[in-house]
Amino acid sequence: MSREEFFGTVKGVFIITLAMMAGAYGLTTAMLVVTEFKDATFHYVLATIFPVILTPVGAFPLLVMAHRLRVIKSDLEGLLRLDSLTELPNRRAFFELAGKVFQRGGAVTLMMVDIDHFKQVNDNYGHDTGDRVLRAVAQSMQHIVAATGNPGVRFAARIGGEEFAVLIEGLAPDAADRLASELVTQVAQSPVQGDGQLIAVTVSIGVAHRRAGDTPSMVLRAADNACYRAKRLGRNQWRDADAEAEQAAAGAVQSAA
């Protein structure tokens, strides 16, 4: 228990003791009125001594236990928001924090990151190697996202299987695209050791930017669609949802012309 926690517990014991003394005085006064106690001083002394002696003895361990239970609860809540394999925030934590960021408004970029051919990695090299691949990609993402130097919220999360998501606040679209390119390059240049050989790992990334009225789910869905587009075009690359939409619109105009 830290010093602050100790003094906080002592303060709680003191408050409870005062409350017990007040209750004892009230009860003693009522008994003096109802009954014919002749020695009022003696009874008020008892009403003071017993709370002062007994309350701290009983209250202090209970408050210490309550504090420990709060710590355990906090730790458990933290584990519920953490992916144990990669030590990244999980899907629940991602959407909780994304919701708070979106409420503030401003520029927000979401990325969907998917490991290419991950099922083949598990099938060919085993799940232990697959876990190493997941951890390696997670570490690369953490390092690159943290190194952006952007003052807003920025973090990576594992949202399921071989899928990861990145949230960056206050980043210009062109800077977000450069970051996505760097992520693709860095992962491709960092093979993972498995079964005595280096395993090449690549990712496909979809990038999407928040617009007025968008929710995190809407933007992540757009990023996911862009990620599938990157996979269809050959994997190991990134695509920006806005650029994809502009190209589709331009194609529609040409077809109509």
Q: Structural domain boundaries of the chain?
A: 3-80, 91-256
How far apart (Å, rounded) are the C-alpha atoms in residues 127 and 85? 12
Per-residue pLDDT at 23: 72
Mean pLDDT of 112-136: 94
**Would you name the residues annotated as active-site residues?**
162
Element counts in the chain: helices (H) and strands (E): 8, 7
What is the rounded average pLDDT for all residues in the chain?
81
Alpha helices in 35-86 (DSSP H): 40-80
Per-residue pLDDT at 44: 65
- Compare 174 and 66 and report the one with higher pLDDT: 174
How far apart (Å, rounded) are the C-alpha atoms in residues 20 and 8? 18
Mean pLDDT of 203-230: 95
- Compare 158 and 72 and report the one with higher pLDDT: 158
Q: Whole-prediction pTM value?
A: 0.68
CATH architecture of 91-256: 2-Layer Sandwich (3.30)
Which range has the worst mean pLDDT, 9-18, 133-142, 173-182, 247-256?
A: 247-256
DSSP 214: -
Checking if the pLDDT of 253 tops 50, the result is: no
Q: Are 156 and 164 in contact (CB under 8 A)?
A: yes
Distances (CA, A) of 97 to 142, 154, 214: 16, 10, 15
Half-sphere exposure of 20 (CA within 13 A, CB side): 20
How far apart (Å, rounded) are the C-alpha atoms in residues 221 and 110? 10
Which range has the worst mean pLDDT, 31-40, 60-69, 108-117, 162-171?
A: 60-69
